[in-house]
Structure 1
Amino acid sequence: MQKSGSGGAEESGQSLVFFDLETTGLGQGCDIVQLAAVSGGHSLNLYVIPRCRMQRGASEVTGLRVRRQRLYLHRRLVLTNSLREVLVSFIAFLRMLGRPLVVGHNIRRFDCTLLARALDEMDLRAEFESSVSGCVDTLPLAREMLRGRCLRSFRQENLVRELLGVSYKAHDALEDVRTLRALYDVLQPTAELVCRHMFTLDTMESKPAGTAAKAKAPCKMPGQHFRQTLKVTESKAEDHNGEISGL
C-alpha cells in the first residue's frame, strides 16, 4: 500500500482525491474534455467528446483537438466516454475511497462550477455529494500559507517551480493532479487550515474563508486530521485506455 506524507490528513483514515478538469475554454459555458483524479496508488483519467467547439487557445495549451467527432491528444486518437459515463466513473472512484476530500487548484471558481453544472444536467449531483466529505481549493490555501513569500503568481505551475524546483507538463489533467499531490505534500497544511478552506457544491459561491474569518467554534469534519491515505486494497482495476489504474 502506498503512503504519503500529505499534511493535515492521515491518522483518521480520511482520504484525499486530487482532481482536475481540462475544458474547451475558460468560460462558464465551456464543456469538460478531460477529467483526472489521483489518490494513493489509484488514478482515474477519462476523456469526453465536447458538445461545443474547442477554443483555439484551449487546444494550443492542452494538445486536445476534435476532428470528425473524434478526440485527439497531440495528434494521437484517444478513447472517449459519454459525459454521463465519466461522471458515474468519477463517483464510483470517490466511493471506493470512502467519502474523501476532493482537492484541486482553483476548483472553487472554475472546475467545481463546471462539475456541478454537468452533475445537475445528468441528475447525479446527489450521488456526488453523498460520495465526498467536501472540497478544498489549494489556490486560496496556498495564498494564506505563503503570504510572506512575495510570490509573483500562485498559479500551480509557478508554485511547483518555486517550491519543488521543477517544471512539468501542465494543462494535462492527469499530470496536473499528480504534481498537485506532490505540491500538497510540501505545503503540509494543518487540519485547521484545511477545514477553513473546505466547501461544498452548495456553498462554493459564498465568500471563501480568509485569514481574518477564523471560525469561532471548532470546525467539525469527519476525523481529526487530513493526510492522504488509501483504505482500499491496491488493486489495479483497469478500464479501457488505462483510465482507472494503479500508479
Structure 2
Amino acid sequence: MEPDMVVQMIRDLKEQNVPISELAGDDDSTGYNRAIKEMPDLHMDKTSDHQNKGNQAGIENGLRASIEHIFGEHAHCMQSWCGYLKDKTTYKHSSLPHGKDLKSLDLKSDLEKWFLDKLVPNSKKLANLASSQANESLNMTIATKAPKYKHYSASSSLSYRVSSAVLQKNEGYSYVSEVHESSGLSPGAETLKRSLKLNRKRDRKSTISKTKEGKKQRLLLKKKRSSKNSGMEVREGKTYESEIGNEHPDQEEIPEVMEIDEVDKEAITVAPLLVFDLETTGLSRSSDIIQLAAYSKDSTFDTYILPSQPISKEATNITKITVRGNNMLYNSNPVNFKYPHQALTDFVTFLSEFSCKPILVGHNIKRFDCHILYNALRFYNMYSEFCSHIIGFVDSLDVFKHVVPGLSSYSQTSLVDTLLDETYAARNALEDTRLLFRLITCTSQGNVISDNITGFIFSPNYPHNCHIQQDNLKTFSEAINCKAVSKATALKAAHSNLRLSHLKLSIERNGIDGLRALLSELTNQGKVRVTSCKKVIQKLYDFLTRET
C-alpha cells in the first residue's frame, strides 16, 4: 500500500476513535514512520508480514546466509534454496558477473554493516509476524464492486461500493436484504434464498480451509502456480529488466504446453455418424486422393478426384481406378471426376449442411486416411474450415479390437465375413462406407461406435498435432542415439510441442533450473509436461552442455 494511503487510513480511524494497537504489513515501514511522525500520540507497533513467524533464530540465520552465500560461504545456507548445496560441481550464481562468487572483503564488510548490524538486533520484532491476508481478502471483495480498471474515485457511488464490500466481509451476503429491510423495503424472497446459499458456501469453504486436507490443497495449488510461473519465465525469457532495450533482446519464445483437446460430451450424444473412406494413388501419406466417399443414415457423398501424381500399380489393382490422358476410369469405364480443390470444397459444403456436426468414422483412419485428408485440405488452406464442421474422428479398427478381441484379422473384408457372414471382395470407396456403416450399426455387437464413442473419439486437430510432433521428434535423434534421453521421453517432449533447441534455450536462460522448470511444467490436466525425474533432467543437461 502507498505510504500516503497508510497515513490517511490511520488518520481516518483515529478521527473515528478506533484504537489501533498494531500495524501489520511488509517490511517497507515508510507509511508507519510517517504516521508516527504526524501523529506522535499513537501507541502502535509495527509487525512484519513474513513466512518465518516466531522463528527468531531462523531469521538471523537467513540474514547471515544472504550475505555469505554470494561470497561463496554456505555454512548458514539451506539446501531448499541454495543451488550450491544442491549441485556443488556445476552451480553458478544466476545474478552475479560470470556466475562467480564475489571476492571483495571491503564490500562484504559494508554489506554486513548495513544489513546485519541493523537487522539482526531487530530479529525479535521481525519474528513477531502478523498476516495481511485479511486485508488482501477485503481488497479482492472491493475490487469486485469497484474494479481498478474503472474510474470510480470521482463518483458518488464509490463510498457505497466500498461500504457494501465491508458489509459483505463483516455481515455476509445477507447484508442486501438487511439494507432493504432497514429502508422499509421488502427483503426479497429470492435475495434471501440467494444470500443463504452464498453464506453456506462461504462457511463451508472456511471450515474446509482449516482442515488438514484444505491446507494440503492450498500447498498443492501454490506448487502448481509456482511451477506455472517458473515455466512461463523460462519460456518467455527476459521481458522486463533495467536497460533491456539497449541489449540484444532474447525474442524467441518457447511454445507453451499443448492443451489436450476435450470433445464436447453433450454434442457427442446427438451427433450423427458419418462413415468416410478414401482411395489413393499409393500407400504413403503423401499420396493423392482419387476417390472420396461418405455415407450416413440420411445422406451420401461420392466423387472421383483427378490426381497430380501417377497411380501406382498396387493401388490400381486394389481400386480398379486408372487415369488415361484427361480421363478417369473405374473398371475400364469412364467416370465423372473433379479437380482436387472443387472436390474438397464440395465435401466441406456437404459437411456444413448437417443440422448437428457429425462424427467422422473410418477404418484405419488414425494411421492413414486422416493424414491423407489433412495434407490435401491443408494444401488448399481448407483444414480449419473442415474442422469447424465436425466434432471429431473415430477409428473403427481400434473399436472392433476392443469390442471383438482375439480375431486373426481386423481388416474390413474379414470383419464383413465374420460379423455379417457375407463375402465382400470389391474395392470402392462408396461401397466400403456402406458396408462399414452396417458393421458399426447392424451387427450382433450392437451399435459399436455409439456404445464406445467416449473412449475412442479423437480431436479433428489430431493430424495437425501429429505432423508437428513428428517434426519435433526428429530434432531429438542425436540425443536418442547418444542415449542422453530415451525415445519414450523424447516422444513425450515432442508431443508437448518441444524441440531440442527449446531445451537448450531454457538452459541458456536459467541453467539446469530452467530445464527443470520447462520439463516439469504442468498441463491443463495437472500432469507433468515431460518429466520431473532428477536423473533424466541431469542427463539431458550434461548432454546439452557438453563441449562440442
The 1:12–1:202 alpha-carbon spacing in structure 2 relative to 1, beyond 3 Å, is closer
Determine the C-alpha separation between the residues in 1 that align with 2:440 and 2:360: 13
Q: CA RMSD in A?
A: 2.1
Q: Does 1:73 align with 2:296?
A: no
Match of 2:448 among 166, 177, 189: 189
After TM superposition, the structure 1 = structure 2 runs for residues 1-247 of structure 1, keeping only pairs within 5 Å, are 12-97=269-354, 98-147=356-405, 150-185=406-441, 186=443, 187=445, 188-189=447-448, 191=450, 193-204=452-463, 205=466
Q: How far is the alpha carbon of 1:191 from its aligned partner? A: 4.6
Q: How far is the alpha carbon of 1:118 from its aligned partner? A: 0.6
How many aligned residue pairs are there? Answer: 197
Identity %: 33
Q: Which has the higher contact order (CA 8 A, sep 6+)?
A: 1
Alpha-carbon contact 1:168-1:175 (below 8 Å) kept: no
The 1:192–1:161 alpha-carbon spacing in structure 2 relative to 1, beyond 3 Å, is closer
- Any idea what the Cα deviations from partners look like across 1:85-110, whole Å, max 9, x if unmatched? 11111111111112100000001111
More strand by share: 1
Alpha-carbon contact 2:305-2:337 (below 8 Å) kept: yes
Letter in 2 for 1:195: T
Superposed structure 1 runs of 4+ greater than 4 Å apart: none
Determine the C-alpha separation between the residues in 2 that align with 1:152 and 1:202: 32
Gaps of 5+ in 1: 1-9, 207-216, 218-247
Alpha-carbon contact 2:413-2:425 (below 8 Å) kept: no
The 1:140–1:12 alpha-carbon spacing in structure 2 relative to 1, beyond 3 Å, is closer
Gaps of 5+ in 2: 1-266, 470-524, 526-548
Determine the C-alpha separation between the residues in 2 that align with 1:170 and 1:129: 31
- Any idea what the Cα deviations from partners look like across 1:221-245, whole Å, max 9, x if unmatched? xxxxxxxxxxxxxxxxxxxxxxxxx
Q: Which residue of 1 aligns with 2:35?
A: none
Q: Which residue of 2 aligns with 1:220?
A: none
- Any idea what the Cα deviations from partners look like across 1:183-210, whole Å, max 9, x if unmatched? 001242265621211112422538xxxx
Determine the C-alpha separation between the residues in 2 that align with 1:179 and 1:51: 29
Determine the C-alpha separation between the residues in 2 that align with 1:92 and 1:15: 16
- Any idea what the Cα deviations from partners look like across 1:2-52, whole Å, max 9, x if unmatched? xxxxxxxx9943211100000011111211000000111311110111111
TM-score, with structure 2 as normaliser: 0.35
- Any idea what the Cα deviations from partners look like across 1:52-101, whole Å, max 9, x if unmatched? 11000110111100101211001111111111111111111111112100
Alpha-carbon contact 1:34-1:46 (below 8 Å) kept: yes
Question: Secondary structure at the residue paired with 2:293?
Answer: strand
Structure (1 or 2) with the larger CA radius of gyration: 2
Determine the C-alpha separation between the residues in 2 that align with 1:190 and 1:108: 15
